[in-house]
């Protein structure tokens, strides 16, 4: 009889555990998990999102209140979600999370930061009384869907990737710390050179340089204004040389004309002297 009773008690405990497991799982499923892949679901409907980290004591104290508030989500027609910033660094950069825990309210793509008390009752009143209307929404420039915040998210993801690679080099490959830094420095240098070449090629394609066309016939070069006085001096010198050459030519012509006349005169004088002698 004692054995049968102990067997019945153990079966009852097992049934209770099996029944409580899905109930507990159902309670946890009231809080939706947001990642980099499904974060755009926040742009539609009414949402309350908590950004937390497992190691944060304040986040750990908030979890029971947040779970209890999530049970009222269906009645309040609000989706209750959470984001683990240690697993989703891109979302922490997209929403500029500087303190933990951080709570945002989103209504059809308009994000507002919740800064009130963090109890279940306060969360319920915030949604039921529509207290979020008194809070100024985040500017579209700093919204999670903007180009600026998308770039910030990419930078946060890159930093997490670099940290993961650094830990892999040190812990798995056994490289020293300076060796890991040297690898990153070399990669940065090579990537910078490749990026520079791509930018030069793109600039050359968009703004090609003007090539000089060969001139078929030689043309007179147009001298600048500073060289015009020199040109005038050269022209005056050429003119003076031309005048001198003309004068010399005239003098030569005159002497050539005078030579035959002198010869004729000398001949006539010689004949007259000969007649006188005779």
Is 205 assigned a catalytic role?
Answer: no
- Catalytic position from the list 59, 106, 205, 207: 59
131: buried, middle or exposed (CB in 10 Å: 19+, 13-18, 0-12)?
middle
Q: Which long-range contacts (CB under 8 A, 24 or more apart) does 17-23 make?
A: none
Catalytic residue among 56, 198, 205, 207: 56
Nearest 5°: the CA angle 29, 35, 38 is 90
* 66 and 80 Cβ atoms separated by less than 8 Å: yes
The 3-state DSSP class for residue 174 equals coil
105: three-class secondary structure by DSSP: strand
Phi, psi values for residue 129, rounded to 5°: -85, 0
Maximum pairwise Cα distance, the chain: 201
Say if residues 93 and 135 touch (Cβ distance below 8 Å). no
56 counts as catalytic = yes
241-246-248-254 Cα dihedral, nearest 10 degrees: -170
Q: Residue 109: count other Cβ atoms within 10 Å of its Cβ.
A: 15
Q: How far apart are CA 173 and CA 156, in angstroms?
A: 25
CB 150 within 8 A of CB 84: no
- A 10 A CB-CB count for 76 gives 16
Give whole-number Cα distances, 272 to 261, 262, 266, in Å.
17, 15, 10
Catalytically active residues are 56, 59
């Amino acid at each position: 009889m004692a054995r049968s009773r102990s067997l019945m008690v153990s079966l009852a405990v097992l049934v209770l555990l099996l029944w409580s497991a899905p109930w507990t799982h159902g309670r946890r499923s009231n809080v939706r998990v947001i990642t980099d892949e499904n974060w755009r679901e926040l742009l539609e409907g009414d949402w309350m999102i908590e950004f937390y980290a497992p190691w944060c004591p304040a986040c750990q104290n908030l979890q029971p209140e947040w779970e209890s508030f999530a049970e009222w989500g269906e009645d309040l027609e609000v989706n209750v979600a959470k984001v683990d910033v240690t697993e989703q660094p891109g979302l922490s950069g997209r929403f500029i999370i500087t303190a933990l825990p951080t709570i945002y309210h989103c209504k059809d793509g308009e994000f507002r930061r919740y800064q009130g008390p963090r109890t279940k009752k306060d969360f319920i009143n915030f949604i039921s009384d529509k207290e979020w209307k008194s809070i100024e929404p985040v500017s579209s420039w700093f919204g999670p869907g903007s180009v600026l915040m998308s770039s910030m998210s990419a930078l946060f993801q890159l930093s997490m990737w670099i940290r993961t690679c650094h830990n892999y080099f040190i812990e798995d490959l056994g490289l020293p710390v300076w060796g890991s830094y040297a690898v990153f420095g070399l990669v940065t240098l090579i990537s910078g050179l490749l990026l520079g070449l791509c930018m030069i090629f793109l600039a050359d394609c968009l703004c090609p340089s003007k090539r000089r066309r060969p001139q078929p016939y030689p043309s007179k070069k147009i001298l600048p204004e500073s060289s015009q006085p020199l040109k005038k001096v050269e022209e005056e010198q050429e003119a003076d040389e031309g005048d001198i050459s003309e004068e010399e030519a005239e003098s030569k012509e005159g002497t050539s004309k005078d030579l035959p006349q002198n010869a004729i005169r000398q001949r006539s004088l010689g004949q007259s002297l000969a007649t006188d002698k005779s």
